[in-house]
Amino acid sequence: MDLQKLFKPKSMAVVGISKKNPLSPGRIVLLKNEFEMDVKVYGIYPNGGDLEGIHLYERLDKLPEIPDLLVIAVGPDDTLGYVQDCVDLNIPSCVIVGGGFAEIGGKGKKRQQQLEKIAFDNDIAVLGPNCLGVYAPPLVDTIFLPTERITRPPKGSVALISQSGGVLVDQFFNKFFERHIGVSTAVSIGNRAVVDEVMLLEYFSKVDPETSNIAFYLEGFKEGRARNFLKLAKESDDTVIVFFGGKTREGKVATQSHTASLAGDYKILSAALRQYQIVLPNSERELLTSLKVYDVLSHRKNPFGKNVITYGNVVIVSVSGGHGVIASDMLKKYGLNAVRLERHEKKDLKELLNPSAREIASFNNPIDLTGSVIDTDIEDVIKYLSDIERIECIIMLLLPYPPNISFQIGRRIANVVSTKNKPVVCFVPYVAKYSLIIESLELAHIPVFHSIKEAVQAVSALKHRTRNENVKKGNLFWV
Amino acid sequence: MDLQKLFKPKSMAVVGISKKNPLSPGRIVLLKNEFEMDVKVYGIYPNGGDLEGIHLYERLDKLPEIPDLLVIAVGPDDTLGYVQDCVDLNIPSCVIVGGGFAEIGGKGKKRQQQLEKIAFDNDIAVLGPNCLGVYAPPLVDTIFLPTERITRPPKGSVALISQSGGVLVDQFFNKFFERHIGVSTAVSIGNRAVVDEVMLLEYFSKVDPETSNIAFYLEGFKEGRARNFLKLAKESDDTVIVFFGGKTREGKVATQSHTASLAGDYKILSAALRQYQIVLPNSERELLTSLKVYDVLSHRKNPFGKNVITYGNVVIVSVSGGHGVIASDMLKKYGLNAVRLERHEKKDLKELLNPSAREIASFNNPIDLTGSVIDTDIEDVIKYLSDIERIECIIMLLLPYPPNISFQIGRRIANVVSTKNKPVVCFVPYVAKYSLIIESLELAHIPVFHSIKEAVQAVSALKHRTRNENVKKGNLFWV
């Protein structure tokens, strides 16, 4: 099944527009694509006329061209007729936003079976039903919530596939936006009657050149599809990340009334997935942190260089002893290792500092440069540590409180990283007035996190990626 | 030892002011108290003169009055002389910001012993050395970092005591500010040579009327003081919360070079602490979430009423199935229980909704009102659930995406809560444009969290508090 036209349509049509209700899904989709997106969009309305200056066509067969995509936003009883129209008019793909299918059981289940038959027999790429559809910037956005009410993540390397539309726009869109994690395409799969996680994994892995990281929020695999998913994940050159909702018994009960899937025993499942080189975050935050780092690594201007190899050997640099303590606490939890510094290295580091910091700084890993630190101390310490080969990554806990740290500090660190190519992940507290520092780092694609935990998780994500790449290359002994 | 004048000084003096260096700690403390705080502040400078319009006195004995507090911001060699001045002039308390004492070992250790002797023999309340001191709004602020570089939490019920100054201003001040958690007094105890966690627990518990919740960030108890701490915690009417840095071996090594304390075996310690009715959060986020809820409960306008009793029986209300799944997943982890709704209750709830939501909503707990929800649905559902006695708390997952949710929704929920007094904790995503909704809720003192996890942790915090209060009342069988 060809998904190209579903995700990269040149033209699309929308059925199910209300002239009376400004908040009807069809109307929202028509207007947001007309005014905000690049796709050519046509509205269908039985009596024709126009809506906010957009001409409406009476029927699909009256359109001036065959659209690549049809968005169906009508009630369940009318939906199948429009899918049949796709067959008759050679429209290759459609998004069904409405519910009333398998998720309500009974006749809805039967309706979904009919839908599946039409789609598979005629090779129509149907997304949904019961979904928000596709957000593929800058082309198309079928998410029928008013754009001014939601956030949109920036463009980037992550294909994001979610079984829950609510989780997609809330948990993911807001947090991608907040953290500047870029998506290539976001997909809400709803009941996944036709297009499912396996087809999507195949498309984003093999066809879509914009995607390097494929992230799934699932409540369970579609029945009978787990094996194909695992096989594709193992073969993929992209990083595949799966996060499961519904891990506990309570969660499972909730899932059953939500999209009628079953999570299975999570422990058994997760062991299997890891064997197939799938990254499996333990929390939503860990997922976001991993994606942020992977998105940076996939960027053309990735400051860490092409071959980032991290088995988890890190140095923590802070300007506050307490912060070093918290970060050290977390290393063990994430299977990371604080590199032991040699006596001569400690001596060298001490000599790099300004006289007042030199007296009170501490050079056990975590390194505490103290509140007497100045910009060049941080710069020189990172430079020095970058040249030590057994250090694979530096966690920089950057508090802007010491009075001699200037607004240049972000730029200074960025310059060191761009010459040394040693992975540096930064923690900077999230306060509006520190934006200048945060932006200087992020402009140079250095990932900045707003909690110590996330900075540590980021290194753990690099380690997982190194491990998976080793296994894929057949370098098995390290596992 | 009387700590009243340390935390509520009418007048204070500062020694260690530099005329040349605008960032010297003494100078920052002088200026921020002169311009930003209510205390009467005097600057001491050997040659007199003035600084930014403030008259400087040559010596402490030339001041027009005996100050309640002396801030000593000079090098370690000169510090003890000023402490002796406190004795000679009857200055009852001082803050020593500089280091060079026990934390450097050797002669520093000896110096600290001398300091202790002078202070205990003469009953001088010495805070520090090696600390940021006191932030007690609106009176006094000895934190020698420029105010424009840090954030300040609002005024409230939490006394916040931290063994790390960096953790205090970063982890806590930023996050208290962000979450609107109010402090009565914040204290950085540094080496805690004289004033220690036990004295502070006693003062805030028995003396300070503004404090109802006492939170500690410790890396370990001061030697020989754990027993007294536990005894006081058990007797206290306030809620006592302790969060430990340095829980793992790695963390412990870091702690030793930081403030020369020892965390001990964390598992043994935590079991003991819980027996003494101390709330022991497992993470910093859990700590913040607990404090946010406890601060609300301590407020005069607490919307949940005087006697909040929560054994963990909750209902989750969402407008997105996926969000309900995530919240359900977490209940078990936090020892909470999703109340099972009766058939007639589900029927009643269904009838409350608008016709389009009614058809697709789901009434298993978690309740999913779906994207077709309107304001009055949410209002009526919370009203109905509030009247069911076996429901102790409602977790409202409030996404502002459904197009018919209006900006009134926060106010509407607040009105229901203020009449029903049933605890309701809300999740609203943290996006600037949702501020209107978030503020309507928080103006009515309804705690709003920006992740689902925190909303669930908040209920867990209510449960811990209920348990501790039961035990304190001798109602032991429930433990």
Percent of chain A with pLDDT over 70: 95
Count of Cβ atoms closer than 10 Å to residue A166 Cβ = 28
- The alpha carbon of residue B254 is apart from the nearest alpha carbon of chain A, in Å, by 5
Would you state the pLDDT for residue A114?
Answer: 98
Rounded Cα distance between B128 and A337, Å, is: 33
Confidence of residue B474 (pLDDT cuts 50, 70, 90): confident
- The alpha carbon of residue B419 is apart from the nearest alpha carbon of chain A, in Å, by 30
CB contact under 8 A, A400 and B338: no
CB contact under 8 A, A251 and B326: yes
Q: Which residue of A has its CA nearest to B149?
A: A401
Confidence of residue A25 (pLDDT cuts 50, 70, 90): very high
CB nearest A151 (choices: B247, B338, B431): B431
Would you state the pLDDT for residue B262?
Answer: 45
> What are the E-state strand segments in B73-229?
93-96, 125-127, 133-136, 140-141, 155-162, 183-188, 213-218
Confidence of residue B471 (pLDDT cuts 50, 70, 90): confident
Tokens representing A366? Answer: 């975590």
Does residue A8 carry a pLDDT above 90?
yes
Would you state the pLDDT for residue B246?
Answer: 66
Rounded Cα distance between B96 and B112, Å, is: 11
Rounded Cα distance between A217 and B342, Å, is: 32
* Prediction pTM value: 0.83
Would you state the pLDDT for residue A66?
Answer: 98
Percent of chain A with pLDDT over 90: 77
Confidence of residue A478 (pLDDT cuts 50, 70, 90): very low
Contacts of B338 in chain A (CB under 8 A): 250
> DSSP readout, A262-320?
----HHHHHHHHHHTTEE--SSHHHHHHHHHHHHHHTSTT-TT-S----SSEEEEEESS
Average pLDDT over residues A340-369: 95
CB contact under 8 A, B145 and A403: yes
- The alpha carbon of residue B159 is apart from the nearest alpha carbon of chain A, in Å, by 19
- Comparing C-alpha atoms, which of A464, A173, A189, A263 is closest to residue B326? A263
Would you state the pLDDT for residue A267?
Answer: 73
Does residue B133 carry a pLDDT above 90?
yes
Q: Which residue of B has its CA nearest to A171?
A: B429
Instruction: State how far the alpha carbon of A414 is from the alpha carbons of A422, A446, A452, B252, B412, in Å.
Output: 11, 7, 19, 32, 48
- The alpha carbon of residue B322 is apart from the nearest alpha carbon of chain A, in Å, by 5
CB contact under 8 A, B431 and A326: no
Q: Which residue of B has its CA nearest to A327?
A: B251
- The alpha carbon of residue B11 is apart from the nearest alpha carbon of chain A, in Å, by 26
Question: Burial, B193: exposed, middle or buried (Cβ in 10 Å; 0-12, 13-18, 19+)?
Answer: buried
Average pLDDT over residues A442-449: 94
The answer to whether residues A37 and A138 touch, using CB atoms and an 8 Å cutoff, is yes
Would you state the pLDDT for residue B245?
Answer: 80
Would you state the pLDDT for residue B176?
Answer: 95
CB nearest B146 (choices: A332, A366, A403): A403
CB contact under 8 A, B148 and A249: no
Comparing A238-242, A415-419, A468-472, the range with the smallest average pLDDT is: A468-472
Contacts of A364 in chain B (CB under 8 A): 253-254, 257
The answer to whether residues A371 and B131 touch, using CB atoms and an 8 Å cutoff, is no
Would you state the pLDDT for residue B479?
Answer: 41
CB contact under 8 A, A258 and B146: no
Q: How many CB pairs under 8 A join A and B?
A: 203
pLDDT in tens, B340-397: 999 999 999 999 999 989 988 999 999 999 989 999 999 999 999 999 999 999 999 9
CB contact under 8 A, B404 and A23: yes
CB contact under 8 A, A333 and B248: yes
Confidence of residue B256 (pLDDT cuts 50, 70, 90): low
DSSP annotation of B144: -
- Chosen for mutation from B132, B284, B328 (greatest number of chain A CBs closer than 10 Å) is B328
- The alpha carbon of residue A247 is apart from the nearest alpha carbon of chain B, in Å, by 6
Does residue B40 carry a pLDDT above 50?
yes
Would you state the pLDDT for residue B260?
Answer: 47
Mean pLDDT over each residue of chain B, to the nearest integer: 92
CB contact under 8 A, A329 and B164: no
pLDDT in tens, A264-292: 567 777 788 888 889 999 888 899 999 99
Tokens representing A455? Answer: 């900075």
Does residue A248 carry a pLDDT above 60?
no
CA geometry: angle A429, A435, A440, nearest 5 deg: 105
CB contact under 8 A, A401 and B169: yes
Mean pLDDT over each residue of chain A, to the nearest integer: 92
- Chosen for mutation from B161, B169, B243, B250 (greatest number of chain A CBs closer than 10 Å) is B250
Q: Is B86 helix (H, G, I), strand (E, B) or coil?
A: helix
Contacts of B366 in chain A (CB under 8 A): 254
Rounded Cα distance between B380 and B75, Å, is: 65
Average pLDDT over residues A234-246: 90
Does residue B448 carry a pLDDT above 50?
yes
The answer to whether residues B429 and B450 touch, using CB atoms and an 8 Å cutoff, is yes
- Chosen for mutation from B175, B178, B325, B356 (greatest number of chain A CBs closer than 10 Å) is B325
Average pLDDT over residues A205-222: 95
Does residue A147 carry a pLDDT above 70?
yes
Would you state the pLDDT for residue A262?
Answer: 45
- The alpha carbon of residue B90 is apart from the nearest alpha carbon of chain A, in Å, by 32
CB nearest B325 (choices: A104, A219, A433): A219
B56 — phi, psi (to 5°)?
A: -110, 140
- The alpha carbon of residue A61 is apart from the nearest alpha carbon of chain B, in Å, by 31
Bridge partners, residue A445, by sequence: none
* Dmax (CA) of chain A: 83
Count of Cβ atoms closer than 10 Å to residue B435 Cβ = 13
CB contact under 8 A, B174 and A429: yes
Helix axes A375-386, A409-420, angle to 10 degrees: 10
Does residue B43 carry a pLDDT above 90?
yes
- Comparing C-alpha atoms, which of B316, B362, B353 is closest to residue A259? B362
Rounded Cα distance between A157 and B4, Å, is: 58
Q: Which residue of B has its CA nearest to A105?
A: B360
Comparing A346-350, B175-179, B266-270, the range with the smallest average pLDDT is: B266-270
Rounded Cα distance between B20 and B49, Å, is: 13
CB contact under 8 A, B257 and A401: no
CB-based contacts of A128, cutoff 8 Å, min separation 6: A95, A96, A97, A98, A189, A190, A191, A193
